[in-house]
Chains A and B, each alone.
Chain A
Amino acid sequence: MTTPNSTPRFLAHLVALVFAFACIQAPVHAAMIGTDTLVSQVELQQQRDALAERLLRDDVKKELLILGVNPDDVADRVNSMTVSEIRQVQGQLASLPAGSGLGTVALVLVILILLEVAGVIDIFPKI
């Protein structure tokens, strides 16, 4: 046994051993982290959903404000809607049906114009 050489060799063996253990341990360690990661992924998704919902609600609030709804009422009105209702209306408020009542005079006028153009009646002599 030659003592001068033994220390580096011992160290080399130790390093090799540590690496070997590290390699064996790595998958086990990863699997454990994996479980935690999964949990945090689920939580992250939930947080994202909550954030997305808040953004959607904010969008609808802005749209209603633009359409002249009283700022004092907007929050309460939008908070009364469910998530799926919010999704239905978001970005659609300009085109969604908005029940308002009778527009009889305008409708009659349109029909008369149509009839005129179709050549059925002749009450607008200039056309």
Chain B
Amino acid sequence: MKVMPCSRSLAAGLFALWLVLGGCSATPHSDRLLAGDRGELPTRRELVDVPFHPQQQYQCGPAALATLLQFSGIDTTPDALVSRVYVPGRQGSFQVEMLAATRHHQRLAHVIGPSLPALLAAVAGGRPVLVLQNLGLDWYPRWHYAVVVGYDLERRQILLRSGVEARYVMGVKLFERTWKRADYWGMVALNPGELPVEDDARGYFLSAAAFEHNAAPALADKAWRAGLGRWPDSIELLMGHGNFLHARGDAEGAAIQFRAVTEREPEYAPAHNNLAEALLDLGRVREARQAALRAVALGGEYLPIYRQTLHRADHADMEL
């Protein structure tokens, strides 16, 4: 057997390089998908109607966001978004600002589940996904935003609107490595009333709660109702919608939602407390007192607030 004289140092060098460059470059999601474990996911899908905006220097954030928002029907441009998401001192854009700017445009910003199957399911469901990638290395990050618009599992490809490439084709595994280094972060922009593809009521609750923060009330209501249409038994969504209605002055609608929670989860004290508040607003003092008593009896972290509610109910009772 012929041994190259330099093979040992070459091997050592390559090992060092592997440690530095590829030590953690496993691609678990791709491996599973490519091995055929893809559930109901179609083999390929490409959303050809997604627009493209080539990025100006360092401004992949505004470009990618404009792509996503335009596709969801918002009339905007990368230039118009620079003042909302670009940070000159960092020559880039932060994830929270991508989410906040989406909501500012009256779209529900939803972070998808951190996995390749979730990403491809969203695309297969007709939604482009804005992803953060680290094109560099963990210790030498090159952060980049792009929009995934398609995939082909047979050809092992991910299709993106990226940088100055209108249709950038990336190998699935390479894509996963760059995406994994950004913790598999991806977001979609939903029209109020649209739902994410994934079956995750809590994830949607978080997105809807953030959306409500500065959305037009009618749109926020639509988002809550859409969620409840799909997950009618979600405690979080019922509470969220109840609180929304209560804040809008619809105590009757709120009471119905809080009551629904108490029927599904009788031990959940906050629902009894909020039900009591809504009933007090409606002048149904006796029922309110019953609900407040129940909340106090259940106790827990917010006991002082339940006591306050009961106190209010007692006062209202005495005034009768």
- Bind each other: yes
Known A39-B308, A100-B58; judge A82-B90 contact (CB<8 A).
Answer: no
Q: Which of B57, B87, B308 contacts A98 (CB 8 A)?
A: B87
Q: Which of A76, A114, A119 contacts B9 (CB 8 A)?
A: A119
Cβ contacts under 8 Å, A94 to chain B: 90
B85's closest neighbor in chain A, by CB? A77
Residue-wise interface mask of B (75-93) relative to A, using a CB-CB cutoff of 8 A (1 in contact, 0 not): 0000000011011111111
A81's closest neighbor in chain B, by CB? B100
Q: Evaluate contact between B87 and A68: CB separation under 8 angstroms.
A: yes
Cβ contacts under 8 Å, B17 to chain A: 114-115, 118, 120
Q: What separation, in Å, do the CA atoms of A107 and B14 have in the docked complex? A: 18
Q: What separation, in Å, do the CA atoms of A76 and B105 have in the docked complex? A: 13
Can you offer 24 A-B residue contacts whose CB atoms are under 8 A?
A: A38-B304, A38-B307, A39-B308, A66-B89, A68-B89, A79-B214, A80-B97, A80-B100, A81-B100, A82-B100, A97-B134, A97-B141, A97-B143, A98-B91, A99-B93, A100-B58, A100-B142, A101-B59, A101-B60, A102-B135, A103-B136, A111-B21, A114-B20, A119-B9
Q: Evaluate contact between A80 and B104: CB separation under 8 angstroms.
A: yes
Q: Evaluate contact between B305 and A101: CB separation under 8 angstroms.
A: no
**Closest CB in chain B relative to A24 CB, distance in Å:** 24
Q: Which of B57, B61, B89, B304 contacts A99 (CB 8 A)?
A: B61
Q: Evaluate contact between B182 and A97: CB separation under 8 angstroms.
A: yes
Within 8 A of B (CB), among A94-124: 94, 96-103, 107, 110-111, 114-115, 118-120
Q: Which of A41, A96, A102 contacts B94 (CB 8 A)?
A: A96
Could you tell me the dominant secondary structure of chain B's interface residues? helix
Cβ contacts under 8 Å, A85 to chain B: 96, 99-100, 210
Cβ contacts under 8 Å, B101 to chain A: 77, 80
Q: Which residues of B pack against A, CB within 8 Å?
A: 9-10, 13-14, 16-17, 20-21, 55, 57-61, 64, 83-84, 86-97, 99-101, 103-104, 132-136, 140-145, 163, 182, 209-210, 213-214, 304-305, 307-308, 311
Q: What separation, in Å, do the CA atoms of A100 and B59 have in the docked complex? A: 6
Q: Evaluate contact between A89 and B94: CB separation under 8 angstroms.
A: yes
